[in-house]
Amino acid sequence: MSKKIAGFLLLLLGAAVCYPIFFLFTGSLMGTGELQNHLGAALSLGEQPMSWSLLPLTPTLRHYVQLLLDSPEFFHMFWNSAALTAGILAGQLLAGVPAAWGFARYAFPFKKLLFTLYILLMMMPFQVTMLSSYLVLSEMQLTDTLPAVILPGAFSTFPVFIMYRFFCGIPQALMDAARIDGAGERDIFLHLGIPLGSSGIVSAVVLGFLESWNLIEQPLTFLKSKKLWPLSLYLPNISPERAGISFAASVVTLLPALMVFLCGQDYLEQGIVAAAVKE
């Protein structure tokens, strides 16, 4: 009996936790007038007290149409976000997968020291490296370009650590067998390491995607011109009169992350756990 009550309470809590997402979807389908009636007070558009209804009275896709057809700046920001995310992920894979493989499967001098360094760097919040990144980026005259956000992100050590954990799980015997068969080290990496460690790579990509799609501090610090901004900086600047557009834009921003979450949830959980279990 008490189990049922606990289950019910948790179900309520879970629904409450997910409600904000539902709220955005319903809001984006409400007409302008309906939104004004509901939210006018908080958006300083009217005097009526706040209200909300679970579902829209007169559902409409108008805001989406407006957003997709009449807001060129939205498209621009969307592609900026996409370019940043793609660039960061590509860099993380190109540099990170071999590095994780090197750490996991080979012994070389100073390995322990270097690995500790990677873990330490992974733990530093952005604010710590903000000035140092800025100095080197302005030295390279990259500030206020998309690579200013992409390059430091591409060399993040967090994905290396995640993939390292998965590569460590590949049995040594397989590598030895491949060597006896005369496979070169590069072939072992490409044909044995990458396929067998693929779930680790996907985990790192899922975590990396959610992080890069949500970047705020980095573009805020390194990008001055608004035309380079990603969606995450654009959304809060939509004026309150365009509440409908704001809702629709929020949903469109949310969708890619939601897709990645739903398709990659198992990998996401594996990635989270990989960062935590003891060696």
Partner 1 sequence: MGRRKHALTGILFLLPSLAGVCIFVLIPFLDVTLRSFQNAVTRTWTGLDNYRILFRTPAFRLAVKNTLRFTGICIPLLICMSLFISVFLQRLKRLGSLLKSAFLLPMAVPVASVVLLWRVTFHEDGFLSLLAVSTGHEAVDWMNSGYAFWVLVFSYIWKNLGYDIVLWMAGLSGIPYNLYEAARVDGAGEWTCFFKITLPSLKPVLYTITVLSFLNSFKVFREGYLAAGDYPDESMYLLQHLFNNWFREMDFDKLAAAAVLMVLVIFGLVSLLKRSWDLEE
Q: Is 163 helix (H, G, I), strand (E, B) or coil?
A: helix
Looking at beta carbons only, is 168 or 261 nearer to partner 1? 261
55 binds partner 1 (CB under 8 A): no
Tell me which of 87, 223, 260, 267 binds partner 1, using CB under 8 A.
260
For 50, how many CA atoms within 13 A lie in the half-sphere containing its CB? 5
216 binds partner 1 (CB under 8 A): yes
155 binds partner 1 (CB under 8 A): yes
Q: Are 24 and 56 in contact (CB under 8 A)?
A: no
Tell me which of 123, 171, 182, 225 binds partner 1, using CB under 8 A.
123
Q: At its nearest, how many Å lie between partner 1 and the CB of residue 220? A: 8
DSSP-assigned letters across all residues of 173-192: HHHHHHHHTT--HHHHIIII
Please give the Cα distance from 215 to 88 (Å, whole number).
Answer: 11
Q: At its nearest, how many Å lie between partner 1 and the CB of residue 99? A: 3
Please give the Cα distance from 158 to 137 (Å, whole number).
Answer: 21
Q: At its nearest, how many Å lie between partner 1 and the CB of residue 194? A: 12
Q: At its nearest, how many Å lie between partner 1 and the CB of residue 125? A: 4
Instruction: Please choose, from the candidates 78, 89, 81, the residue with its C-alpha nearest in 3D space to the C-alpha of residue 208.
Output: 89
Q: At its nearest, how many Å lie between partner 1 and the CB of residue 69? A: 21
25 binds partner 1 (CB under 8 A): no
36 binds partner 1 (CB under 8 A): no
Instruction: Please choose, from the candidates 266, 212, 273, 252, the residue with its C-alpha nearest in 3D space to the C-alpha of residue 71.
Output: 252
